[in-house]
């Protein structure tokens, strides 16, 4: 059943071979579908909205309406018979709350306005922290995109490696098919034995087994590639040859920006925490009803204005302690940045050295493949004339397949190294 499904997959692949997809297609799909990137973009937008909220908090007037009603009757004892009074005006002997604090009730319906004063600097300090937070989330999104690009490219290269192996094996199978057809007539002419024909058939089946293994690997790796890209589509299709070239060397790494933003955020947090040591000025006003005696309510409409001032004088030297803490934390960030830059320089040099070794080996291996192809052509002529053992021909063909496999692995490893170098050289 599995074999039938696999065969149908590759029939579909052959039919859809004209629809080719490259690395950029999968990278674009991965970035578009990544929830982590979307989250960082959303958090960046939230930080921008926080700036608007801070502007309203520090600079805009705050208006509200308050209403209060307090019912506080007393039991008057001034007369011979105790009586309940809701709004007493001159009681001397009574049971209940003190008239000085309640007068029998409170009636308030006030419109209030509070206006912060001299807060422009405070707003700028608080807004700066939100701006840095927005930049951090944007940078996190860029790093996530960069990470995805590398992961997708690595998986793409593995997929294409399987395609190359499939191509080489199909070529070997086709070549043995041609030899098999020729051998039939040579066996009939008693130039070769039936065992020679059977040997070709056995090796052809061996190649077909290997082909089915690589076809299954391609299906698996391609689906893994689509999983990484967040794609729903399960259709198989042909991949374009990956052509990843070395990027020009970058001396100012984008990775270092993370440490710079972390340092800026640390000091922005310190500036925000020190806002409480700045003087706070607030002007306030209210207008409406404010009374304690019901019969006089119509005459108790008015307004009031005021001004408040507050400044912190002493809190146990917390301000200097926080500054000392931030200096230590900032030094840690600086140490991480220096360590990364040192390691990254050495890392890139190491990768470039490995790439160079693959380039040198690639030329010699390609020459070896060409030599095997020339030898097989000569052997084909010798087989037709009955001058060559079939075993020798198959041995050379198998050796060529091994070299082709190694060459494919070599190309893939070189592409993976280039992709890794470009990742760190960013």
140 pLDDT above the threshold of 50: yes
**Residue 12 clears pLDDT 50, i.e. is over it:** no
Statement: residue 333 has pLDDT above 70: yes
The answer to which of 57-61, 183-187, 200-204, 224-228 has the lowest mean pLDDT is: 183-187
Show the domain range for 321: 2-61+120-279+316-424
In sequence order, what are the beta bridge partners of 30?
Answer: none
Q: Note the pTM of the prediction, 2 decimals.
A: 0.82
Q: Write down the pLDDT at residue 16.
A: 47
Domain assignment of residue 30, yes or no: yes
Measured distance CA(170)–CA(228) in Å, rounded: 29
DSSP 207: H
Question: Could you tell me if residue 245 is inside a domain?
Answer: yes
Residue 265 is part of a domain; what is its CATH number? 1.20.1600.10
Instruction: Label residue 1 by pLDDT band (50, 70, 90).
Output: very low
Does 19 score more than 80 pLDDT? Answer: no
Cα angle for residues 122, 125, 131 (degrees, 5° grid) = 135
Cα angle: 115, vertex 121, 123; to 5 degrees: 65
In what side-by-side order are the strands of the sheet with 301-310?
62-71, 105-117, 280-291, 301-310
- Considering the domain boundaries, does residue 387 fall inside one? yes
Please state, in angstroms and rounded to a whole number, the distance separating the CA atoms of residues 375 and 391.
14
Q: Could you tell me if residue 85 is inside a domain?
A: no
Three-state secondary structure of 58-108: HHCCEEEEEEEEEECCEEECCCCCCEEECCCCCCCCEECCCHHHHCCEEEE
Question: Contact, 208 vs 214, CB < 8 A?
Answer: no
Residue 97 lies in a domain: no
How large is the average pLDDT for residues 177-181? 87
Q: Is the pLDDT of residue 89 over 60?
A: yes
In a domain, 269, yes or no: yes
Does residue 64 contact residue 112 with C-beta atoms inside 8 Å? yes
Residue in 273, 7, 36 with CA at minimum distance from that of residue 137: 36
Q: Is residue 377 part of a domain?
A: yes
Residue 7 has pLDDT above 70, yes or no: no
Closest alpha carbon to 197 in 209, 211, 210, 186:
186
Tens of pLDDT along 215-249? 999 999 999 999 999 999 888 888 999 989 999 99
Q: What is the mean pLDDT of the chain?
A: 89
Number of domains forming the structure of the chain: 1
Inside any domain, residue 310: no
Mean per-residue pLDDT for 379-393? 82
Structure tokens at 361: 């080996």
pLDDT tens-place string over residues 248-302? 998 889 999 999 999 999 999 999 999 999 999 999 999 999 988 778 888 989 9
């Amino acid at each position: 059943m599995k074999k039938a499904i696999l065969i149908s997959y590759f029939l579909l692949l052959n039919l859809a071979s004209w629809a080719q997809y490259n690395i950029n297609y999968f990278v674009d799909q991965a970035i578009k579908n990544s929830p982590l990137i979307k989250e960082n973009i959303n958090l960046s937008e939230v930080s921008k909205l926080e700036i608007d909220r801070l502007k309203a908090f520090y600079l805009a007037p705050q208006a509200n309406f308050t209403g209060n009603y307090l019912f506080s009757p007393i039991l008057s004892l001034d007369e011979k018979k105790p009586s309940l009074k809701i709004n007493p005006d001159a009681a001397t002997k009574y049971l209940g709350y003190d008239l000085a604090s309640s007068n029998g009730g409170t009636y308030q319906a006030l419109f209030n306005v509070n206006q912060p004063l001299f807060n422009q600097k405070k707003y700028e300090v608080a807004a700066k922290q939100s701006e840095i937070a927005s930049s951090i989330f944007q940078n996190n999104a860029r790093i996530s995109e960069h990470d995805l690009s590398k992961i997708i490219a690595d998986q793409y290269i593995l997929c294409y490696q399987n395609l190359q192996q499939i191509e080489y094996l199909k070529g070997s199978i086709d070549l043995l098919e041609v030899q098999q057809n020729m051998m039939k007539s040579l066996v009939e002419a008693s130039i070769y034995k039936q065992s020679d024909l059977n040997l070709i058939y056995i090796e052809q089946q061996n190649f077909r087994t290997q082909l089915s293994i690589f076809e299954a690997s391609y299906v698996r790796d391609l689906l893994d590639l689509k999983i990484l890209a967040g794609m729903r589509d399960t259709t198989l299709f042909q991949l374009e040859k990956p052509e990843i070239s070395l990027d020009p060397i970058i001396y100012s790494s984008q990775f270092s920006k993370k440490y710079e933003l972390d340092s800026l955020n640390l000091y922005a947090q310190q500036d925000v925490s020190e806002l409480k040591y700045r003087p706070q000025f607030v002007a306030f006003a209210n207008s409406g009803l404010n009374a304690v005696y019901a019969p006089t309510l119509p005459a108790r409409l008015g307004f009031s204005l005021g001004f408040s001032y507050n400044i912190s004088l002493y809190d146990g030297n917390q301000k200097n302690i926080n500054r000392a803490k931030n200096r230590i934390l900032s030094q840690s960030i600086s140490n991480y940045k220096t360590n990364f830059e040192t390691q990254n320089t050495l890392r890139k040099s190491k990768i470039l050295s490995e790439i160079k070794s693959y380039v040198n080996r690639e030329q010699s291996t390609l020459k070896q493949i060409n030599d095997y192809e020339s030898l097989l052509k000569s052997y084909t002529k010798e087989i037709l004339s009955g001058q060559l053992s079939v075993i020798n021909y198959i041995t050379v063909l198998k050796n060529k397949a091994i070299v082709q496999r190694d060459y494919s692995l070599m190309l893939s490893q070189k592409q993976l190294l280039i992709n890794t170098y470009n990742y760190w050289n960013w």
